[in-house]
Amino acid sequence: MDAIEEKLIKKAQKGTRKAFEKLILQHEDHIYAIALKVLKNEADAYDAAQEICLKIYQKIDQFKFESAFSTWVHRLAVNTAIDEYRKLKRKLQKEYSYDQPITEDGGTMKDFIQDTGDTPESNLVRQEQIQMVWEALEKLKDEQKNIIIMKDLQGQSYQEISESLQINMGTVKSRLARSRIALKNVLQDMWEQSNV
Amino acid sequence: MKGGTDMTVCNENIKELVAIYSTEGLTATEQNSVEEHIKECEECRYEFDIYQSIEQELDLTKYKAPDSLHTDVMKRLSKYKNLTKYTQYQPYLSIAAAIVFVVFLGFVGLMNPNILKNSSDEAMMVQDEMAVQDQITEEANNEEAATAESYDTSITTFDAEMEEALEDAPSEGAPSEDVAPRMAMEAQTKELDKQESDHRREIIIGLIVLSVFSGILIYRRAKKR
């Protein structure tokens, strides 16, 4: 965390709206992208992104500088987006239930890898699978999650991550590999549990 | 498929390389090792596919928020109060302030004699009457004292005069004509004091009810913000 960001966070925590505005501007793309990834719909993602920003504003004084601000924002964004997704899903299920029941069976990992088609049912199954990646990410240790956020979500280079975390390139590489393996394992466990 | 040459051996090392194959972190040799390995190992090929899908899902770099998002967020924020630590406790502070204010007003009211004017006036009238009665009794006592003094001047006429004095004095145990109205007035004063006390209690209960009610209203309003 750089000094400018820290200063902005502290000012925002004291209620300075201008500071919050500068701060949130740096994270809006990330927030919107998460909302879009989880909700798979631009209009829903737009609404959810607004809710996420407001939630960050309301909860910013709970940020204790124990992690990177971007990680904290990311966590809040994913959780809020998943909540919004569940609300929409419940609504959708209610609408569908008049025609045909939708099973909770999420299918197999193969369904996740290969698109299962365009029927409403298969789309819903695929959305469920995709959403699980975000949930699985939240179950990782902070150290693992951070490096995946930096590399996969934000697209930072090994060099940038190395400088930011102050670890050498070899460590970045091995940590990223182990974190990705952990993410895949968590995801597989979630799939197994959902198919019981 | 496990076994074969070193390149196709399925171990932790090759699995780690498979996990980060698509990143720029592998050397040319490592990339070749992975490519050769996944041709032979079905399990690693399957995992490779999973990593590709995860990576595709998690990649947020190509998304950009619409410009209107920032404007809309700031518009909505302008309706919010600044959320400092003070504002977090604002509902509770409001209740405390309301209670203190109402209690203060109540005490100011109690200290103001006009609030209890009626009962105070009646009490004053009774006290005036009692004062007049006290004065009359005192004058009578003074006269008796003066008479007794004159009796002392002559020892020889003491018995006769004492006899006379005893005849004039009221008999012991029977209330004098002055004591009965005084007792009635004291009873009336006590009654008035009781009424005043009841009146004060009613005012205090009213103030407590009012302060609780206003506190709830202020709390609900502050919570809505």
The answer to whether the CB atoms of A29 and B65 lie below 8 A apart is: yes
DSSP secondary structure code for residue B4 in this structure: S
DSSP codes joined into one string, chain A: --HHHHHHHHHHHTT-HHHHHHHHHTTHHHHHHHHHHHH--HHHHHHHHHHHHHHHHHHGGG--SSS-HHHHHHHHHHHHHHHHHHHHHHHHHHHHTTT---------HHHHHS---SSHHHHHHHHHHHHHHHHHHHTS-HHHHHHHIIIIIS---HHHHHHHHT--HHHHHHHHHHHHHHHHHHHHHHHHHHT-
Residue ranges covered by each domain of chain A: 1-102, 107-196
Give how many domains chain B has, as a whole number: 2
pLDDT at B77: 87
B59 touching A (Cβ < 8 Å): yes
The pLDDT tens digits of the residues spanning B17-62 come to: 999 998 888 899 999 999 999 999 999 999 998 898 888 888 888 8
| Identity at B7, one-letter amino acid code | M
Distance of CA B180 to the CA centre of its chain: 52
Residue B196 placed within a domain? yes
Q: Quickly state the pLDDT bin for A164 (edges 50, 70, 90).
A: confident
Q: Smallest Cβ distance to A54: which of B51, B55, B77?
A: B77
The pLDDT tens digits of the residues spanning A2-16 come to: 888 999 999 999 888
Q: Quickly state the pLDDT bin for B4 (edges 50, 70, 90).
A: very low
The pLDDT tens digits of the residues spanning B142-151 come to: 776 665 565 5
Residues B52, B90 within the same domain: no
pLDDT at A54: 94
Residues B42, B99 within the same domain: no
> Domain A1-102 class?
mainly alpha
Q: Give me the mean pLDDT over the A155-176 stretch.
A: 92
The pLDDT tens digits of the residues spanning A106-146 come to: 444 555 554 445 555 566 666 676 678 988 998 999 899 98
Residue B1 placed within a domain? no
pLDDT at A104: 43
* List of residues 6+ apart from A11 with CB closer than 8 A: A18, A19
Q: Quickly state the pLDDT bin for B167 (edges 50, 70, 90).
A: low
CA distance A142 to chain B (A): 17
Q: Give me the mean pLDDT over the A75-85 stretch.
A: 90
* List of residues 6+ apart from A104 with CB closer than 8 A: A194
* List of residues 6+ apart from B143 with CB closer than 8 A: none
Domain with B203, as residue range(s), is 85-224
Q: Does residue B105 surpass a pLDDT of 50?
A: yes
Mean pLDDT of chain B: 74
Residues B107, B208 within the same domain: yes
**ipTM score:** 0.74
Mean pLDDT of chain A: 83
Q: Report the C-alpha gap between B159 and B167 in whole angstroms.
A: 12
Residues B34, B143 within the same domain: no
Residues B179, B118 within the same domain: yes
Q: Report the C-alpha gap between B34 and B222 in whole angstroms.
A: 62
**Fold for the domain defined by A107-196:** Arc Repressor Mutant, subunit A (1.10.10)
Query: What proportion of chain A, given as a percentage, has pLDDT over 90?
Result: 48
SS3 readout for A139-188? CCCHHHHHHHHHHHHCCCCHHHHHHHHCCCHHHHHHHHHHHHHHHHHHHH
Name which residue leads in pLDDT, B181 or B34: B34
The pLDDT tens digits of the residues spanning A17-46 come to: 899 999 999 999 999 999 998 888 899 999
* List of residues 6+ apart from A16 with CB closer than 8 A: B82
The pLDDT tens digits of the residues spanning B205-216 come to: 888 888 788 778
Q: Smallest Cβ distance to A152: which of B58, B82, B84?
A: B58
The answer to whether the CB atoms of A15 and B72 lie below 8 A apart is: no
DSSP secondary structure code for residue B5 in this structure: S
Q: Quickly state the pLDDT bin for A76 (edges 50, 70, 90).
A: very high
Distance of CA B111 to the CA centre of its chain: 23
Q: Does residue B89 surpass a pLDDT of 70?
A: no
Chosen from A184, A187, A188, A192 to mutate, greatest number of chain B CBs within 10 A: A184
pLDDT at B188: 83
Residues B198, B159 within the same domain: yes
Q: Within 10 Å of residue A163's Cβ, how many Cβ atoms?
A: 12
Name which of A105-114, A186-195, B112-121 the model is least confident about.
A105-114
DSSP codes joined into one string, B125-177: HHHHHHHHHHHHHHHHHHHHHHHHHHHHT-STTHHHHHHHHHHHSPPTTSPPT
Residue B143 placed within a domain? yes
pLDDT at B5: 45
Residues B24, B125 within the same domain: no
Q: Report the C-alpha gap between A165 and A178 in whole angstroms.
A: 16
Q: Smallest Cβ distance to B53: which of A17, A36, A113?
A: A113
Residues B22, B106 within the same domain: no
pLDDT at B87: 56
Residues B89, B14 within the same domain: no
Q: Quickly state the pLDDT bin for B191 (edges 50, 70, 90).
A: confident
Residues B197, B120 within the same domain: yes
Q: Quickly state the pLDDT bin for B158 (edges 50, 70, 90).
A: low
**Chain A residue whose CA is closest to B44:** A181
Q: Smallest Cβ distance to A181: which of B16, B58, B85?
A: B16
Q: Report the C-alpha gap between B158 and B160 in whole angstroms.
A: 6
pLDDT at B202: 83
B79 touching A (Cβ < 8 Å): no
Q: Quickly state the pLDDT bin for A102 (edges 50, 70, 90).
A: very low
Name which residue leads in pLDDT, A3 or A168: A168
B24 touching A (Cβ < 8 Å): yes
pLDDT at A174: 94
Would you say the C-alpha torsion B124, B129, B135, B138 has a positive or negative sign? Answer: negative
Residues B29, B92 within the same domain: no
Q: Quickly state the pLDDT bin for B102 (edges 50, 70, 90).
A: confident
What does the block give as tokens for B211?
């302060």
What does the block give as tokens for B199?
């009146």
Q: Report the C-alpha gap between A12 and A28 in whole angstroms.
A: 16
Residues B113, B203 within the same domain: yes
pTM over 0.95? The answer is no
